[in-house]
Structure 1
C-alpha cells in the first residue's frame, strides 16, 4: 500500500511538473510591446506661482487659491492643494501628482469685504505642454513644471 501511495505521488508530481512547465513557456511572448510589471506609479511635481490683482492692478490679499487636476471631477483634499494670497497678492502652490497636462487654478473670495471688496470667483485653465517638464529621471518621475501667472479678478456688483 505504501509503494502504491509513493508511486501515485511521484506520478502526480511528474504530471504537475510537466503541466507547469508547459504553462510557464506558453506565457512567454515575443512581442516587445509587452511591458514588464513594475511597482510604483508615475508622478510629477507642479509649481504654480502668481499674483491676484484687481481691475486697477492692485494686489488682493487673503483670497483662497486651489490647484485642481482637470482630469479629475473630484474636488477633495487628496487631489488639490490650497493656499491663500499674501498682502502683495502673491500665491505659490507646489504639489506632486500623477502626470497630467491640464490643471485648474481656482481663486475664491471667502472673507467678504475684508480684502477691499467682494470679488467674483475665477477659474483659470492651465494647459501644460510635454516640453515644459524638466529634470525628469527614471521611468516614474516625469519632471517638474513651474508656471507663473497674474490673474485679474473683477469686483462683484
Structure 2
C-alpha cells in the first residue's frame, strides 16, 4: 500500500513541475515576439449610411419613410436573419442616418418603404470598404443612398 501511495505522490509532483514549466515556456514565448499577443477579439468597423427619400413626381421629402438596413453575408447574396436588421425612419426633411459599429461586413442591403403604401418600395445594395484602422479596428466607411419613390401601379 505504501508503494502505491508513494508512486501517486511522485506522479503528482512530476505533473505539477511539468505544468509549471510549460506555463513558463508559454509566457516567455509570447514575450519574445516583441508584441503583446491579442488572444481574444473580432475585427470590427464603424459604418455610416445616410441619404434622403423623396417622391419622384413631386420631389417632396417623405417624412416617416421606413429604412431597413440588412447586413449581407460574406460572399453571398443572402442577408443575415431578420433579427440582424436595423430599422429607422426619415425625419421631416426626408433624411435618414444609420450608424453602427460591428464586425466587418462588406455589403449592406438598404430597403426604403413608404408607410402609407402609396409609393412603391425601393432598395439598393451598397459595398462598404472600411479604411484607416489598426489592429482589430478595421476603420470606417460612409456611403450615401438617396431614394426617389414612385407611385404604386394600380
Instruction: Verify same fold: TM over 0.5.
Output: yes
Residues 2-151 of structure 1: pairs in structure 2 closer than 5 A:
2=2, 4-13=3-12, 38-56=39-57, 57-71=59-73, 72-76=79-83, 79-112=84-117, 118-129=118-129, 133-137=130-134, 139-151=135-147
Asked whether the equivalents of residues 70 and 80 of structure 2 are also in contact (C-alpha less than 8 Å), the reply is: no
Q: What secondary structure is seen at the aligned counterpart in 1 of 2:67?
A: strand
Q: Measured at CA, do residues 14 and 86 of structure 1 come closer, stay the same or move farther in structure 2, by a change above 3 Å?
A: closer
Structure 1 residue 10: deviation in Å? 4.6
The runs of at least 4 aligned residues of structure 1 exceeding 6 Å deviation read 17-21
**TM-score, normalised with respect to structure 2:** 0.72
CA deviations 1:76-115 (Å, max 9, x no partner) are 1xx2221111121111011122111110111111234xxx
CA distance in 2, matches of 1:92, 1:119: 21
CA deviations 1:36-89 (Å, max 9, x no partner) are 77212221111111001221332111110011101133111xx22211111211
The number of residue pairs the alignment matches comes to: 137
CA distance in 1, matches of 2:125, 2:56: 20
CA distance in 1, matches of 2:50, 2:38: 37
**What is the Cα-based RMSD across aligned positions, in Å?**
3.0
CA distance in 1, matches of 2:125, 2:10: 68
